[in-house]
Chain A
């Protein structure tokens, strides 16, 4: 009937064994999670956490916070300060820009060349970041006046200025949002399945979030508000993936009452593998497009999402499902009783 041979990414029936490799996967995952944590506490393997801790002031919690802050290349959303995006028709002389900023403003100044990814119009861009000063207006005005000396047709295309109050709120707000999302997922899965599934799913979520955080910490990608949005979406996506697998496990639990749990998990994963890969692929296609065409502002988001989708898919297969094995599942009469009303309801 079909006019062309349909692409099948996989043979009709796969017999991959996941559970057998769960030990290896667990080892890899634990190593990766550990590396992420080490990076978060050492500012990307560059400094000694104890030294930062001792230098920081305040309560132990605040000091640990200071250590964690160094762990990321925080954007001004979370660090506070002012960031100017400068666009120019000619190359931007970093040193001249730094000198200009220094003449207008004391304190910490960062200049960072960046690509204006939407490829049309001014091809040269740079970020100029500095601490917000009390006479902000004059500082910005002075920089604006001095810009023609730095590059051809240079102008300020974007200004972001965030005070310490707001950046702290955004930081804690972001952490709370992530925690709340994971908690909600736990409750949801628990409610829809069994608590063993909930725990398995949540372990996978922590895994995904921590590894994505680790990626940003190790490679020093800028960590902004958009990245929090990406993390929440990764949580949604990974959970989505996990739920599809769990759903199949639940179905097979009813179908094959005698099959050993390990085999049953393998079977369920194989049955859903095709879907897992196809959906992952379409998402990745779109995100790769976004990475190359979406411009500077969205590249971080695209990077986070691409990594998160790959890790999320892996974790659904090798973390969430095998985790169920640790606690086992109640099978037989009691399990059926619990699920009976759900079948009737759906």
Chain B
């Protein structure tokens, strides 16, 4: 029927306008985009790293080392549990062999008691499930292993914590457009647009969080601003989000974090604020005691990566080897910081397993040539369609232009990254988009040749071709779905454009063209089909 239901007209109109609105930000300069009223979308197409230039690193948690660290811990805990048992159970040969932590009971007959003593270790304190499995042999050997599920949970946690640490290292101010995401159980993707030197990035990720204690020199802000610093001092800024003062401190640290044995988040019993409590080793305690006694009533600054965490006044000598750092901590930041300090840098070593960098000018060239290729592909297709199908070809062209608009709009809306292969997908989609029109028009020609009148032929063309169009395009969608599963980065960008393109092209080829033809038919009342 060439009567088009009203809802279809409305649908086409609404979708087209939406496409226009969402695609619009791409066609205006960025400055104008900023000044648009807030109810309009501002999002332009998100360019992939290969188009805007930048670096991408894929990092992997070194699970072997993580497992080893964990097993060392478990061996210690097992030893402690046996020592604390009442009466004490004696053991020898505490250590880690292969994938197991082990102890050997001096008296194998005490096995049952030992197992009971160790049992609490097997359960997680936070969730269900076993965190350690024990195997005992008759000669008194007890081996503890980490179940695979727990190991992958541990590496997931390590990856998650590392993300925070990495973010602080490469983007301390939180302004750069760096994305850091966990991928799978043990991987982290770092994408830094505009960074053309990945080595610098890697260096910053790999550096250790170094905590240092410096004496503060009370210098007036004017003096500091004038640059007349006392010799051997430096100006250090506040640590992002936690510290709040800029200080002039001695360049030489009085104490460094290597003497740190423990760092935990806790709350100050008096104020209830979150603090970071730490513990120093013997040598560290001695030094700390000496310094605090010597410089009582002066201030010292605790620096992390040369940024001030806090600069408290020394009220009395601190000789117990433990202390508290207060600052503007939240529960989260105190925990993160404790993690960083405890492990030196990262909860587990990270390995760079993939690294890609594209120079910004190369990306720009890629965009230019991609755009040229798309435009030429589009024009050739348009010309071809008009030559092959005349007026109906023109309708198909209009549909194709709406299609292009919808693709750009959808890509901007979803925020999917456009990559270089994505541009290829776009070009291919433009060419393939006319397939539905070709199917419909060829069908009309056949029906007309079989002696049907124009209205019948048009109608039959649409309805008969529809089944084929759906069948044929679903296959492309299936292929694109697999690309999503398999592909990373650029290939995923290709999958995005391909699947968006297939959906929009079916919509425009069928709905938009049908509408145009119906409107034309009602106005022209042709006796003969013009194709």
**Which residues of A are interface residues toward B (Cβ below 8 A)?**
1-4, 6-9, 12-13, 85, 87, 116-118, 120-121, 136-137, 140-141, 155-163, 165-166, 173-174, 176-177, 180-181, 184-185, 188, 192, 225-226, 228-229, 232-233, 235-237, 239-241, 243-244, 247-248, 251, 271-272, 274-275, 278-279, 281-283, 285-287, 289-290, 293-295, 297-298, 301-302, 305, 346
Contacts and interface: CB of A to CB of B under 8 A. Distances in A.
Residue of B358, B389, B424 with most partner-chain A CB within 10 A: B424
Interface residues of B, number: 82
A184 to B, nearest CB: 5
B366 A229 contact: no
B530 A2 contact: yes
B356 A286 contact: no
Interface in B508-525: none
A1 B482 CA distance: 46
Given A7-B387, A226-B421, A286 B474 contact: no
Contacts of B368: 118, 120
Contacts of A285: 377, 380-381, 384, 431
Contacts of B198: 159
Nearest to B529: A1
B428 interface: yes
B414 interface: no
B380 A181 contact: no
Given A235-B479, A236-B480, A290-B377, A283 B432 contact: yes
Q: Which 3 A-B pairs have the closest CB atoms?
A: A236-B479, A286-B377, A1-B530
A58 B473 CA distance: 44
A146 to B, nearest CB: 16
Interface stretch (B85-93, B278-286, B464-472): B464-472
Nearest to A13: B449
Given A1-B391, A226-B421, A278-B388, A185 B478 contact: yes
Given A240-B476, A281-B384, A282-B381, A297 B420 contact: yes
Contacts of B430: 286
Interface centre among A136, A185, A243 (most CB of B within 10 A): A243
B424 A282 contact: no
Contacts of A163: 351-354
A279 B222 CA distance: 75
Contacts of B354: 161-163, 166
Contacts of A282: 380-381, 384-385, 431-432, 434-435, 438
A79 to B, nearest CB: 13
Given A1-B391, A173-B486, A158 B362 contact: yes
Contacts of B199: 136-137, 140-141
A283 B377 CA distance: 9
User: Chain A at the B interface: mostly helix, strand, loop or mixed?
Assistant: helix
Interface in B474-505: 474-476, 478-480, 482-483, 485-487, 490-491, 494-495, 498
A239 B498 contact: no
Contacts of B480: 232, 236
B355 A160 contact: yes
B74 interface: no
Interface of B: 50, 58, 60, 198-199, 202-203, 351-359, 361-362, 365-366, 368-370, 372-373, 376-377, 380-381, 384-385, 387-391, 420-421, 423-425, 427-428, 430-432, 434-435, 438-439, 442, 445-446, 449, 464, 466-468, 470-476, 478-480, 482-483, 485-487, 490-491, 494-495, 498, 526, 528, 530-531
Given A6-B531, A240-B473, A290-B373, A181 B388 contact: no
A244 B472 contact: yes
A20 to B, nearest CB: 24
A6 B389 contact: yes
Given A120-B368, A282-B381, A240 B485 contact: no
Given A177-B482, A275-B442, A192 B359 contact: no
A243 B475 contact: yes
Contact of A85 (B362, B434, B490): B362
Contacts of A118: 365-366, 368-369
Contacts of A287: 427-428, 431
Nearest to A192: B471
Nearest to A297: B420
A7 B358 CA distance: 45
Contact of A346 (B362, B466, B494, B498): B466
A293 B365 contact: no
A294 B467 contact: no
20 contacts: A2-B391, A4-B387, A6-B389, A6-B531, A9-B388, A118-B366, A158-B358, A163-B352, A166-B354, A180-B482, A188-B475, A226-B421, A243-B468, A279-B434, A282-B431, A290-B373, A294-B423, A298-B370, A302-B424, A305-B424
Contact of A297 (B58, B202, B366, B442): B366
A185 B368 CA distance: 36
Nearest to B357: A159
Contacts of A228: 486-487, 491
B361 to A, nearest CB: 7
A30 to B, nearest CB: 25
Contacts of A239: 472, 475-476, 479
Contacts of A8: 388
A289 B438 contact: no
Q: Counting chain B CB atoms within 10 Å of each CB, which of A137, A188, A229, A232 scores highest?
A: A229
Contacts of A275: 435, 438-439, 442
Nearest to B50: A297
A173 to B, nearest CB: 5
Contact of A294 (B352, B370, B468, B472): B370
Given A137-B202, A159-B198, A278-B388, A236 B476 contact: yes
Contacts of B385: 282
A180 B479 CA distance: 9
Contacts of B362: 85, 87, 157-158
Contacts of B359: 87, 155-158
A225 B373 contact: no
- Most A Cβ at <10 Å: residue of B359, B377, B434: B377
Contacts of A229: 421, 483, 487, 491, 494-495
Contacts of B387: 4, 6-7
B380 A289 contact: yes
Contacts of B369: 117-118, 293-295
A279 B486 contact: no
Contacts of A298: 370, 373, 420-421, 423-424
Contact of A301 (B60, B424, B476, B483): B424
Nearest to B187: A166
B486 A184 contact: no
Contacts of A233: 425, 428, 476, 479, 498
Contacts of B431: 282-283, 285-287
Contact of B365 (A120, A232, A244): A120
A290 B479 contact: no
A157 B360 CA distance: 8
A293 B439 contact: no
Given A163-B353, A243-B472, A290-B424, A174 B486 contact: yes
Contact of A158 (B202, B357, B449, B494): B357
Given A225-B487, A229-B483, A279-B435, A243 B357 contact: no
A7 B495 CA distance: 34
Given A3-B390, A229-B483, A295-B365, A240 B373 contact: no
Contacts of B530: 1-2
Contact of B468 (A9, A12, A247): A247
A9 B445 CA distance: 14
Contact of A225 (B468, B476, B491): B491
